[in-house]
Amino acid sequence: MLAAYPFSAIVGLADLRLALLLTAVNPAIGGVLVRGEKGTAKSTVVRALAALLPELDAVRGCRFACDPAAPDAECPDGPHGSTPPVVRRRSSLVELPVGATEDRVVGTLDIQRALAEGVKAYEPGLLAAAHRGLLYVDEVNLLPDHLVDLLLDAAAMGRAHVERDGVSVKHAARFLLVGTMNPEEGEPRPQLVDRFGLVVSVGSPDEPAPRAEVVRRRLAYDADPDGFAARWADEDALVAGRIAEARGRLPRVELPDGELDRIARICLAYGVDGLRADIVVARAAITLAAWHGRDTVTADDVRDAARLALPHRRRRDPLDPPGTDEERLERTLSDEEPEPEPDPGPPDGGPAGGAPPDGEADGDGGSSGSQPPAAPGQPYRPRVLTLPKTGERAHTGRRSLAYARRGRVVGARLPQGSGAPHLPATLLAAAARGSRTVAPADLREAVHIGREANLVLFVVDASGSMAARQRMATVKAAVLSLLRDAYQRRDRVGMITFRAAGADEVLPPTSSHEVGVQRLARLRTGGRTPLAAGLEAAARTLRAERRRDPRRRPLLVLVTDGRATAGPDPISVVPALAGTAAVVVDCESGPVRLGLAHRLAAALDAPCVPLAQLSAPGLTASGRAA
């Protein structure tokens, strides 16, 4: 077996190494979420930590790794008796793949034994395998939300409670939870991030010397993994011994009332929700004191714990640019007055930014140049845009109806390996054969209807007519509101703008919604209106995305007044978008209206919604698309 990369050989990443060591000492902190771009050694550090975890005694033959000194009274493999047989083994490292099913995570009914032997048996999942070890979830932001909920609930309670398929099981599930993610692939929900005890952002070294040292050590490891690991074995042994020593000291560490008050003041000043932040900071500070060999928590322990436990917990706009949380925490710890929170405005208010006055002339600005970026108005809750028909949910989300692995049961089918058994249909199939026993051929699978995530592609008019009528602030507020809605519904988003001589893909399809917000804020206007070029660019982007991910259904959101003062007639481009569900947001205003957006919407077989009515609930994309 290939030797793991030594933990002590990691260059830099001090905050990440400290956070992992603290949770190794005290898993009650709640685990670590590691944020970083690709190639920043996130997985390497986590796997290196697993090799440092102390060995443990377990009950021989127990699939749940029960501690023989205090076996779980509810262990499905128990009872183990007062003196169970003992086996010594290493702490487990369990990796959860992105494509894992709920059955694989929590366990399920052993169908083979149920059908062959007629007994109700439980097949353990990954939570059972990770008990008293390390559970590693790479790309945790890509996991379905319900799986992340299961993981974090088990990590918080230390137990897994399984109620499914006629099985009711409870078992211990105390593990060190570590998740890694690349922010470029999208952010997880804030409430899920909050369930991780510590969050650390990592990056590549920005100096030549440490970068060269990283490469030097990696090449040495690749050339001789065992020899390289042997050279660092003494340092790793010291770290492992320090973890064991800190675990023994942890129960004796005292948290003075003065430092507890300091924690409460910091959390209040930082503006966190609930009390989970206070508890995590307190646990992390106690663990820091144990790690440093002290029996009493100091102010430095509290400050260091706050830097690891608080940056992701402030009440904030989820689409804020990165770095905001860390800067605010530094001001809080420096006893500076925190800046007042911005007023988000009424959540259900209509389009802000000022409606264009009726009767104003509608021109293209008379120039091919660009106007300075207009600040967007306040966002609001927009109508829900959904796709027609029911898709096959390849991407968990909250937008359009789709067949899924969980949700409302609407029927049964022959097993396809993706759903839970449908017991009534299974029994009916056996009865139809005239049999009193169930055979494997009778098994039926439940069909669920849930919701899926989609690709929402915005095509936005940025021509001079928008600047001339001062409509761009209102348009930006609408697009910003739809971007927030896409974030909440777990969609991928893309943005194309058209102005002057052509169209630009200002945001290739991505899950990083905050990038879309930044691009929208910098969007300039001016020039003529090449609407056809915008539709052609949208068709190219959708074709490329369909090849890359054929199961993700797209929704085209076209924001325009329908005018086209440059290029061919946009109606001529419509056939390239055949079969694509679309919504046209009509920006036309004034007493004299040409209705060009309605004409284009009819050609696209799409609903046309006036910009001023975008905040009303209930919009559904046309179901007439092929």
Q: For 93-110, write each residue's pLDDT tens digit.
A: 888 877 777 778 877 766
Confidence of residue 119 (pLDDT cuts 50, 70, 90): low
* pLDDT (mean) for 170-199: 78
> What CA–CA distance (Å, rounded) separates 60 from 353?
68
pLDDT of residue 603: 94
pLDDT of residue 352: 42
Q: Which of 297, 438, 363 is nearest to 590 (CA)?
A: 363
> What CA–CA distance (Å, rounded) separates 319 from 21?
31
> What CA–CA distance (Å, rounded) separates 76 from 169?
7
> What CA–CA distance (Å, rounded) separates 131 from 92?
8
pLDDT of residue 465: 74
Point out the least confidently predicted range of 106-115, 227-236, 273-282, 503-512: 106-115
> What CA–CA distance (Å, rounded) separates 370 from 372?
7
Considering 191-195, 208-212, 337-341, 588-592, the range whose residues carry the highest mean pLDDT is 208-212
pLDDT of residue 260: 92
Considering 31-45, 282-296, 307-321, 367-381, the range whose residues carry the highest mean pLDDT is 282-296
pLDDT of residue 511: 79
- What's the CA angle centered on 339, arms 333 and 340, to 5 degrees? 135
Considering 240-254, 373-387, 413-427, the range whose residues carry the highest mean pLDDT is 240-254
Whether residue 200 contacts residue 15, with contact meaning beta carbons closer than 8 Å, is answered with: yes
> What CA–CA distance (Å, rounded) separates 193 from 414?
38
* pLDDT (mean) for 300-312: 88
Residue 40's SS3 state is coil
Confidence of residue 270 (pLDDT cuts 50, 70, 90): confident
Contacts of 555 (CB under 8 A, 6+ apart): 385, 386, 387, 399, 400, 454, 455, 456, 457, 581, 582, 583, 621
> What CA–CA distance (Å, rounded) separates 458 from 479?
8
> What CA–CA distance (Å, rounded) separates 233 from 406?
47
Q: Which of 102, 37, 89, 73 is nearest to 404 (CA)?
A: 102
> What CA–CA distance (Å, rounded) separates 302 from 286?
9
Domains of the chain: 402-452 (no CATH), 455-613 (3.40.50.410)
Q: Which of 537, 552, 527, 548 is nearest to 506 (CA)?
A: 537
pLDDT of residue 109: 64
pLDDT of residue 354: 40
Considering 50-54, 297-301, 385-389, 620-624, the range whose residues carry the highest mean pLDDT is 297-301
Q: Which of 176, 188, 249, 137 is nearest to 30 (CA)?
A: 176
pTM: 0.65
Question: Annotated catalytic, 276?
Answer: yes
Mean pLDDT for the chain? 80
- Whether pLDDT at 407 is above 80: no
Q: What's the DSSP call for residue 334?
A: T
Confidence of residue 269 (pLDDT cuts 50, 70, 90): confident
pLDDT of residue 460: 92
pLDDT of residue 593: 79
Considering 221-225, 521-525, 554-558, the range whose residues carry the highest mean pLDDT is 554-558
Confidence of residue 447 (pLDDT cuts 50, 70, 90): confident
Whether residue 372 contacts residue 360, with contact meaning beta carbons closer than 8 Å, is answered with: no
**Ramachandran quadrant class, 69 (left: phi over 0; alpha: psi -120 to 50; beta: rest):** alpha
> What CA–CA distance (Å, rounded) separates 516 from 495?
7
Confidence of residue 298 (pLDDT cuts 50, 70, 90): very high
Residue owning tokens 């017991």:
423
Residue owning tokens 């001079």:
464
Hey, which bits of 214-355 come out as E strands? none
pLDDT of residue 599: 93
User: In terms of residues, how long is the chain?
Assistant: 626
- Kindly report the number of other CB atoms within 10 A of residue 296's CB atom: 13
* pLDDT (mean) for 453-463: 91
DSSP 181-227: E-GGG-PPPHHHHTTSSEEEEE---SSHHHHHHHHHHHHHHHH-HHH
Contacts of 227 (CB under 8 A, 6+ apart): none
pLDDT of residue 413: 84
Give 319-364 pLDDT, tens digit per residue.
Answer: 665 555 666 677 777 763 444 444 444 434 444 444 333 333 344 4
Q: Which of 365, 482, 485, 613 is nearest to 495 (CA)?
A: 482
Residue 509's SS3 state is strand
Catalytic entry in 276, 524, 540, 599: 276
Give 20-41 pLDDT, tens digit per residue.
Answer: 999 989 988 888 888 887 777 7
> What CA–CA distance (Å, rounded) separates 500 from 340?
40
Rounded percentage of the chain residues whose pLDDT exceeds 70: 83
| Radius of gyration of the chain measured on its C-alpha atoms | 29
pLDDT of residue 560: 92
Residue 251's SS3 state is helix
Q: Which of 166, 163, 100, 86 is nearest to 130 (CA)?
A: 100
- What's the CA angle centered on 615, arms 613 and 620, to 5 degrees? 85
> What CA–CA distance (Å, rounded) separates 152 from 226?
35
pLDDT of residue 514: 75
Point out the least confidently predicted range of 347-361, 556-570, 612-626: 347-361
pLDDT of residue 421: 80
Three-state helix/strand/coil letters over 563-618: CCCCCCCHHHHHHHHCCCEEEEEECCCCCCCCCHHHHHHHHHCCCEEEHHHCCCCC
pLDDT of residue 110: 66
Beta strands at 32-36 and 198-202: parallel, antiparallel or unpaired = parallel
Q: Which has the higher per-residue pLDDT, 90 or 243? A: 243
pLDDT of residue 406: 67
* pLDDT (mean) for 123-150: 80
Q: Which has the higher per-residue pLDDT, 583 or 30? A: 583
Q: How far is CA 117 from CA 63, 77, 113, 414, 434, in A?
A: 21, 18, 5, 22, 20
- What's the CA angle centered on 561, arms 559 and 564, to 5 degrees? 105
DSSP 95-116: EE-TT--HHHHH-EE-HHHHHH
